[in-house]
């Protein structure tokens, strides 16, 4: 009995000693010191005081403010108070050619002054055209097409049938993957709207496509077919050949007339 007690006592002593060593190993580790630098060299940068949508007119009192910014992180395109102390007043009534998020630095490349033209001309890429066409609920996907969506442009027209001599309706896709610049006067979706109101859609087209659309509007009804986001990635060649082929085909079906000495062109229906 005595031997058993001695054994238990020895085991308890060893366990206690091990616990002490383990505690020391944890408590004995040096603490990691974290130093926070407070001596950053800063500069005052002009930023958006609130979210600024595309096409909004800047108000100096509510849309712009100066904010401290690390000098090393300040881009050359940022507007600083040291270089343009009166920038808030100077940029009042300028138009945003791109949206700004609250706290985002303001750059003059994203602004349009009133003397420089309208918003639509500013947001158009080089070499592109803005062309409007009439739309209705039936011809524009139930008006669920919004600015910056991508669509296919379809022409539906009545043609004389070659078989029976009567008339038939024919549809042709003029262009694929065309960007919608505006619906009515709206060039950006606001307040998470699901539909856009307006009886016209403004499309971003090439010069050839603009000419083809102008011809197609006189021949029948134009419909816009909404594309899925999954296959709406823009491409430099989207729709270009469609516009050229359409013009070549229709001009081949035309008859050249002289009226009072002036040439004109009449397009056939078959």
pLDDT in tens, 151-203: 999 988 887 776 666 777 788 888 889 989 888 877 766 655 666 677 888 99
DSSP code at position 135: -
* Percentage above 90 pLDDT, the chain: 14
Three-state helix/strand/coil letters over 42-84: EEEEEEECCCECCCCECCCCCCEEEEEEEHHHCCCCECECCCC
pLDDT at 211 over 70: yes
Would strands 262-267 and 254-259 be described as parallel, antiparallel, or unpaired?
antiparallel
Mean pLDDT computed over every residue of the chain: 77
Token pair belonging to 53: 């949508």
Long-range contacts (CB closer than 8 Å, 24 or more residues apart) made by 3-11: none
pLDDT reported for residue 258? 47
Q: What average pLDDT does the segment 250-270 reach?
A: 48
pTM equals 0.58
pLDDT at 256 over 50: no
pLDDT reported for residue 44? 93
pLDDT reported for residue 228? 85
Across 67-71, 73-77, 196-200, 246-250, least confident range:
246-250
pLDDT at 106 over 50: yes
Token pair belonging to 7: 């054994």
Q: Could you please report the per-residue DSSP string of 6-20? A: HHHHHHHHHHHHHHH
Q: Which of 120, 124, 91, 117 is nearest to 105 (CA)?
A: 91
Helices then strands, each counted (H, E), the chain = 5, 11
Task: Check residues 244 and 50 and name the one with the higher pLDDT.
Answer: 50
pLDDT at 257 over 60: no
Q: Which domains does the chain have, with CATH numbers?
A: 42-121 (3.90.1210.10), 129-267 (no CATH)
Sole residue written with tokens 């999954």:
230
């Amino acid at each position: 009995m005595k031997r058993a007690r001695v054994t238990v006592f020895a085991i308890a002593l060893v366990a206690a000693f091990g616990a002490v060593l383990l505690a020391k190993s944890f408590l004995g580790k040096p603490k990691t010191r974290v130093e926070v630098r407070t001596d950053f060299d800063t500069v005052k940068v002009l930023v958006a005081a609130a979210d600024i949508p595309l096409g909004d007119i800047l108000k100096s009192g509510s849309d712009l403010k100066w904010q401290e910014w690390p000098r090393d992180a300040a881009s050359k395109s940022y507007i600083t108070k040291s270089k343009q102390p009166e920038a808030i007043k100077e940029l009042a009534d300028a138009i945003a050619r791109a949206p700004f998020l609250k706290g985002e630095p303001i750059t003059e490349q994203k602004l349009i002054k009133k003397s420089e033209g309208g918003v639509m001309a500013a947001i158009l890429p080089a070499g592109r055209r803005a062309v409007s066409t009439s739309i209705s609920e039936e011809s524009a996907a139930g008006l669920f097409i919004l600015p910056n969506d991508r669509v296919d442009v379809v022409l539906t027209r009545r043609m004389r049938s070659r078989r029976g001599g009567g008339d038939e309706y024919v549809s042709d896709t003029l262009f694929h993957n065309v960007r919608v610049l505006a619906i009515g006067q709206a060039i950006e979706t606001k307040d998470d709207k699901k539909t856009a109101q307006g009886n016209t859609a403004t499309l971003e087209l090439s010069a050839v496509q603009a000419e083809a659309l102008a011809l197609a509007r006189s021949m029948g009804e134009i419909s816009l077919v909404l594309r899925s986001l999954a296959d709406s990635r823009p491409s430099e060649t989207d729709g270009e050949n469609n516009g050229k082929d359409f013009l070549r085909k229709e001009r081949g079906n035309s008859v050249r007339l002289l009226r009072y000495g002036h040439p004109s062109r009449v397009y056939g229906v078959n």
